[in-house]
Amino acid sequence: MRVTVLGIVLGLWALGAPNQAQEGEETFGCEANPTGNPIGGGEGYRPILTSGDFTVTTRDELFAALEQAQPGQIIFLPDGVEIDLTGDRNVVIPAGVTLAGTRGLDGSPGARIFTTLRESHTLMASGGDEIHLTGLRFEGAFGGTERVADHSSFLSVGHYGAEIDNCEISAFNVSGISVGSSALGVRIHHNFLHHIQRSGYGYPVATNASDLQVTANRFDYCRHAIASSGTPGAGYEAAWNLVGPNEIGHSFDMHGGRDRGDNTDIAGDWMHVHHNTFLGEARAVVIRGVPSQHALIHNNWFVRGTPAESVVSSGNTRTFRNVYGEDRRLQEEEIALP
């Protein structure tokens, strides 16, 4: 039974397949996945865009399209395209514009946008509300854990309503997607984020926002899959995510006042962490202070952890109805921290 259960999880890790639960059935971990799309995106994901208002295959064509595109328009990168942005910084995606590829269509890995720059930089940034990135691969130059002086990040979001889905994002040593406090209504879902793991940083998702949704993603080879500064007002929901076995630090994080040095013990306003599967041996959730409203941790599967090991908080946190170990031992009593 032990091998069978773990085999199911590792199969989901490899394939990301949806596995719908019966109506009304209580589920634990990510594998019931009610989204209708595979965890981490890729093969089986829908919808996948196959054309756009602009079709680009080179760096010059991409920059020309970004200059001309209007809200509601799509910049499309066909399968097989590789665009080298080495030396470019803060490439702006205009308001309302979609940057799209075909990741998951007939085995396509999606067009690749990459940089080999080994200097501090952020590759892309939102230029207005409701940008959309879908079906593409974004690759940096820092995939390891080494504590180098240069800091690289993929995307900085500072506007309302951004959506990033069905993308593969890797090898940016500080952060993958960084969501600022003014960026409300941001959704990050069905992506595969990996090898973002610089010692001391390594955040596939970094956030100061107050209502971020992070759902149905795959994470691996990260330091903290999700990290928040924990400033007053900060909060996020993390659900239906699959966190791989190679995390080098705790998976979901909320910083507290001692990290910011602001003479408080505030660790954001709220967190809602539910229906995630954690395959690694590192702690799953660490709240480094006290949330002003609450933190709710429930219906997760901590494959390697115990209740005492899996969640750490200084207060105002409820953890309940989780399962632990390969045999899914149910947490019968609620744990209030403290």
Structural domain count of the chain: 1
**pLDDT confidence of residue 224:** 96
**Mean local confidence (pLDDT), 48-67:** 98
Provide the CATH number for the domain around residue 98: 2.160.20
**pLDDT confidence of residue 338:** 67
Amino acid identity at 223? R
CA–CA distance, 52 with 61 (Å, rounded to integer): 13
Q: What is the pTM of this model?
A: 0.94
**pLDDT confidence of residue 335:** 80
- Sheet with 91-93, edge to edge strand ranges: 91-93, 121-126, 152-157, 175-179, 203-207, 226-228, 252-254, 285-287, 311-312
CA–CA distance, 333 with 311 (Å, rounded to integer): 15
CA–CA distance, 44 with 40 (Å, rounded to integer): 10
> Which of 234-248, 306-320, 323-337 is least confident?
323-337
Cβ neighbors of 14 (< 8 A, separation 6 or more) are: none
Q: How confident is the model at residue 2 (pLDDT cuts 50, 70, 90)?
A: very low
**pLDDT confidence of residue 97:** 99
**Mean local confidence (pLDDT), 226-247:** 97
Is the per-residue pLDDT at 6 higher than 50? no
pLDDT over 90, % of the chain: 85
The better pLDDT of the pair 68, 147 is held by: 68
**pLDDT confidence of residue 23:** 66
Is the per-residue pLDDT at 14 higher than 50? no
Q: How confident is the model at residue 24 (pLDDT cuts 50, 70, 90)?
A: confident
Q: How confident is the model at residue 11 (pLDDT cuts 50, 70, 90)?
A: low
DSSP 185: S
Say if residues 284 and 316 touch (Cβ distance below 8 Å). Answer: no
DSSP 266: B
pLDDT over 70, % of the chain: 93
Q: Which residues pair with 152 in a beta bridge?
A: 121
Is the per-residue pLDDT at 95 higher than 90? yes
Q: What is the pLDDT of residues 108-163, one digit of tens each?
A: 999 999 999 999 999 999 999 999 999 999 999 999 888 888 999 999 999 999 99
CA–CA distance, 302 with 245 (Å, rounded to integer): 11
Q: Which domain holds residue 67?
A: 2-337
Q: How confident is the model at residue 13 (pLDDT cuts 50, 70, 90)?
A: very low
**How much is the mean pLDDT over the chain?**
93
**pLDDT confidence of residue 5:** 45
